[in-house]
A and B are shown apart, each in its own frame.
Chain A
Amino acid sequence: MATEILMPALSPTMEEGTLAKWLVKEGDTVSAGDILAEIETDKATMEFEAVDEGVLGKILIEAGTEGVKVNTPIAVLVEEGEDADAAVKAAQEAAPAADADGKAASGGGSAPSAPAEPKRARPVAEPEIPEGTKMKSTTVREALRDAMAEEMRRDDDVFLMGEEVAEYQGAYKISQGLLDEFGAKRVIDTPITEHGFAGLGVGAAFGGLRPIVEFMTFNFAMQAVDQIINSAAKTLYMSGGQMGCPIVFRGPNGAAARVAAQHSQDYAAWYAHIPGLKVVQPYSAADAKGLLKTAIRDPNPVIFLENEILYGRSFEVPVLDDFTIPFGKARIWREGKDVTLVSFGIGMAHTLQAADALAKEGIEAEVIDLRTLRPLDTATVIESVKKTNRCVTVEEGFPVCSIGNHISAVLMQEAFDWLDAPVINCTGKDVPMPYAANLEKLALVTAKEVVEAARAVTYR
């Protein structure tokens, strides 16, 4: 009886990987626990172990193959003495383990939360990028790393500290290569002690340095929130302008996939509430790079909210020596006359997808990426609403006191006469994030909900 060995998922967000190296060859006898292969995920190279015993009958995916989807059969294990080719054939006929895309019929039947990539990969207006600039396809992960590396080259006072940022190369591989280039003095592994190292970072900023403090996720920053708000955000004011705190707190924020309530929360509205903080939540790789460089140079404390699902996404990033994006400037990704869709961060993925779908129905949506939440570019939103007379906001966070609530209030106060329908806020649901795949899907905001909201405000 032959057993197929499938490409494993080795992280919550992994969809595909590279089969870097086989450590066994056809005909080898393997036991449970033997290391079969090295697999490169979006984050790291991992060893993959056998769970069954038998003889490796056939290798189906050669070493070095990139983009192997999770659950694709990569080898077949046969019993001692069994004819390998016959057994392989039988196994492949018997087990339709993967569909054409290699997507598994995994338990629960629900796809993970990651929204599909919208067709449009670039916004319509990019004022920061001069005409004719060469563009390079870059992941958000690489863009963040490049931003830090460029700023660390530019200013010796910039340093990075956090859990696993140095020797491990970043829990999410964001700081890959930084330890090699800048050394242990400037790329510092901390103990698991968020409250302590956030406060230490604040002190270092008071002392004249420019710390980048990485939280492995912003869920863990809750341990440090007193230092972020009471010490970092308020000291300039409390000191009558004497003592500034130039610091960047950055890390993934919001839901990843299947990590449940304590690891899946969008803190955008929490931090945007605080005077003294600047709050950034980029969507594209170009924005991630340009805004992180601006954040590191900013003389104020900046909360830089990234997204784990977006880390592996590629976008066009301009090839410029020093590409920065100013805070407080929203970006119009798509022009339209029928409805304004306002979002930020991963909400943009749902929103752009919704805009594609709406276009097919003849509804032309204008899509605005806020990019920074404090300062917030309300002027761009108001101008758009004056044209479309309708607005839908999209975010992953909880509905009560959301960014969408705030934008609705601003529009009511400053664009009341232009509104032809109430503003609808599409948000995550008002529940802690459930673990079960089907419930998680229900808890998150979806492109479908955005489409429905857009239809509702356009009375279609």
Chain B
Amino acid sequence: MATRKPPAKPNTSKEELLTFYREMLLIRRFEEKAGQLYGMGLIGGFCHLYIGQEAVVVGLEAAAEEGDKRVTSYRDHGHMLACGMDPKGVMAELTGREGGYSKGKGGSMHMFSKERHFYGGHGIVGAQVPIGAGLAFSDKYKDNGRVTFTYFGDGAANQGQVAETYNMAQLWSLPVIFVIENNQYAMGTSVKRSTMSPDFWERGASYGIAGEAVDGMDVLAVKAAGEKAVAHCRAGKGPYILEIMTYRYRGHSMSDPAKYRSREEVQKIREERDAIEHVRELILQGKHATEDELKEIDKEIKAVVNEAAEFAKESPEPALDELYTDIYAETAPQNA
């Protein structure tokens, strides 16, 4: 990953930088806490942390409007927090409790929020891609001007259904933004070892889909690219691909020993490229806040995360009769 170019005069504001700082920090602290609870046995199964990739969702959410939709893979905690879902409900789902977004029946990989237009949380690599195009199809059908952010990783980008979806999305001019979060590792297999044409966004060209690669460790660059993509979709020009170059600091899941890359590689990116540090520097350089004021924000975030963790521990397990509920809907769902 190339070293970031120093921003000339960042096109941003004090409020925006502080919001980004706060939102990215919330994801990081939340994920650290989830890792801790996993270690304590309070979270089970698979748990995929988003640490390192925070600028992707925070930057793109800044480009979204109310009513826009999003759908992603199983590495979904960051997306939920960034789109305004309650950290308590997310954490309680991780612990499998009644207070979770899916009443404890979905877990880390399967959460949804109709209210926040978050359509999952999908556990099968790549399955969310045609689903995202389908959400965009419904918006186009209703002509409501909405766009759908469809997130997937570099691993999923090699799935056949992604190619199938690109074709249909462009054929039918669907308002969908394909966001490839290229964190460079599909579980333990690096892009180099898995992929013949490593510039994933360029694959759209064979379908006539516009796109670009974006520095995913720079939240301002992500937001700018997101705005461009959103404008393209809302103008009825069809889909857009954003390949966002990012990095996950933690293993693929909590049970990943990460032997496929060196500790130095991770350490180097943390030190030189960290997205939260970047915003922090911009804030301090621009004198938008003092160290003490930032510490105050850190404290607030910590409190929010601790509150979520307490809620997730104290919320009861789902009632036993929940086993047999929600298998079939009795009345028509109001998804839209």
A-side residues, CB < 8 A to B, are 157, 159, 185, 190-191, 193, 195-209, 226-227, 230-231, 235-246, 275-276, 278, 297, 299-300
Contacts and interface: CB of A to CB of B under 8 A. Distances in A.
B69, B134, B139, B332 — which one has the most chain A CB atoms within 10 A of its CB? B134
Nearest to B117: A207
Interface of B: 69, 71, 100-106, 110-114, 119-124, 127, 129-139, 141-142, 160-161, 164-165, 167-168, 171, 325-336
Contact of B171 (A191, A201, A278, A300): A191
Given A237-B105, A242-B102, A202 B130 contact: yes
B131 A200 contact: yes
A338 to B, nearest CB: 37
A230 B109 CA distance: 13
Given A240-B102, A299-B331, A199 B165 contact: yes
Contacts of B165: 196, 199-200
Contact of A300 (B135, B142, B328): B328
B131 A239 contact: no
Nearest to A275: B327
Contacts of B331: 299
25 contacts: A191-B164, A195-B130, A195-B164, A196-B133, A196-B161, A196-B164, A199-B130, A199-B134, A201-B134, A203-B119, A203-B130, A203-B131, A204-B134, A208-B142, A231-B127, A239-B101, A239-B112, A240-B102, A242-B102, A243-B112, A243-B335, A244-B332, A244-B333, A299-B329, A299-B333
A237 B131 contact: no
B135 A191 contact: no
A305 to B, nearest CB: 19
Nearest to A241: B326
A249 to B, nearest CB: 14
Contacts of B123: 230
Nearest to B109: A238
B328 A200 contact: no
Q: Which 6 A-B pairs have the closest CB atoms?
A: A203-B134, A207-B138, A208-B336, A199-B130, A196-B164, A244-B333
B15 to A, nearest CB: 33
Contacts of B122: 231
Contacts of B330: 299
Nearest to A239: B112
B120 A243 contact: yes
A187 to B, nearest CB: 13
A236 B335 CA distance: 11
Contacts of A275: 327
B127 A242 contact: no
A243 B130 contact: no
Contact of B124 (A191, A196, A230, A297): A230
Given A239-B110, A239-B112, A276 B328 contact: yes
A202 B306 CA distance: 37
Contacts of A246: 329, 332-333
Contacts of B131: 199-200, 202-203, 206, 227, 231
B181 to A, nearest CB: 19
A206 B150 CA distance: 14
A208 B167 CA distance: 23
A238 B109 CA distance: 9
Given A199-B161, A239-B112, A240-B106, A208 B335 contact: yes
Given A226-B124, A240-B326, A241-B326, A204 B138 contact: yes
A230 B103 CA distance: 19
A242 to B, nearest CB: 5
Given A200-B131, A203-B132, A206-B134, A236 B328 contact: yes
A159 B141 CA distance: 10
A236 B133 contact: no
A159 B163 CA distance: 24
Nearest to B332: A299
B329 A244 contact: yes
Given A191-B167, A195-B164, A243-B333, A238 B127 contact: no
A201 B141 CA distance: 12
Contacts of A195: 130, 160-161, 164
B122 to A, nearest CB: 7
Contacts of A299: 329-333
Given A202-B134, A207-B135, 10 more contacts: A193-B164, A203-B119, A206-B138, A207-B119, A209-B138, A227-B127, A236-B333, A239-B102, A240-B103, A243-B112
A236 B164 contact: no
A258 to B, nearest CB: 31
B332 A185 contact: no
A213 to B, nearest CB: 10
Contact of A241 (B136, B167, B325): B325
Contacts of A200: 130-131, 133-134, 137, 165, 168
Contact of A242 (B114, B124, B133, B168): B114
Contacts of A237: 105, 326-327
Contacts of B120: 235, 238-239, 243
B124 A203 contact: no
A191, A200, A236, A245 — which one has the most chain B CB atoms within 10 A of its CB? A200
B156 to A, nearest CB: 12
Given A235-B120, A238-B105, A299-B333, A196 B112 contact: no
A207 B131 CA distance: 9
Contact of B134 (A207, A239, A244): A207
A244 B335 contact: yes
A199 B113 CA distance: 19
B334 to A, nearest CB: 7
A401 B102 CA distance: 32
Contacts of A191: 164, 167-168, 171
Contact of B135 (A157, A206, A236): A206
A239 B109 CA distance: 11
A204 B141 contact: yes
A206 B119 contact: yes
B168 A196 contact: yes
B139 to A, nearest CB: 7
Contacts of B326: 236-237, 239-241
Given A203-B130, A207-B137, A209-B141, A236 B329 contact: yes
